[in-house]
Amino acid sequence: MIDYDDLIRIDLFDDLTEEELKSIREICSEERYAPGEFIFKEGSQAKRLYVLKEGKVSIEIQVGDNKHLSVFTISQGADLFGWSALVEPFKFTASARCVDAATVLAVDGVKLMGLIEKDYRMGFLIMRRILRFISQRVRDSRLQLIHCYYAR
């Protein structure tokens, strides 16, 4: 089980009650990865959502046979990735590869969806933050595409 202090630093869980946080804490674990190791690969089944605790992770898309393009890099600071675990069809839309050794908090997506279905208030707060997060990633990706277009 993860440390409660780590959980309360995660933006995704802002505004949740102590009781709601306790239920989420029970479905979280801490995982460690080596530099160069994939946490998940694009197209694979999204079973967990992740929050970076320490290290650096590159979010990459496949652009050819065994070729990946880094879309952005996440640095430590409770940054969320792997949101596909909460959004149908529950398949990762990109890969996550460790740039440095990384420690992540992994949240069981199926169990989190179960909690969301039981507690609509908590579910609304979490899904609103997920949507805000996805919207920001779409804006960031758009800006990066514009930059790539004009950099030619």
Task: Report the number of secondary-structure helices (H) and strands (E) in the chain.
Answer: 4, 8
Amino acid at residue number 2: I
Which residues contact residue 11 at a Cβ distance below 8 angstroms, ignoring those fewer than 6 apart?
Answer: 78, 80, 129
Instruction: Give 80's strand partners.
Output: 51
pTM of the model as a whole: 0.88
**pLDDT tens, 62-78?**
887 878 888 888 886 65
SS3 34: coil
Half-sphere exposure for 42 (CA within 13 Å, toward CB): 17
**pLDDT tens, 20-42?**
999 999 999 999 999 999 999 99
CA atoms of 78 and 28, how far apart (whole Å): 14
CATH classification for the domain delimited by 4-146, as one of 3.40.50.2300, 2.60.120.10, 2.130.10.10, 1.20.272.10: 2.60.120.10
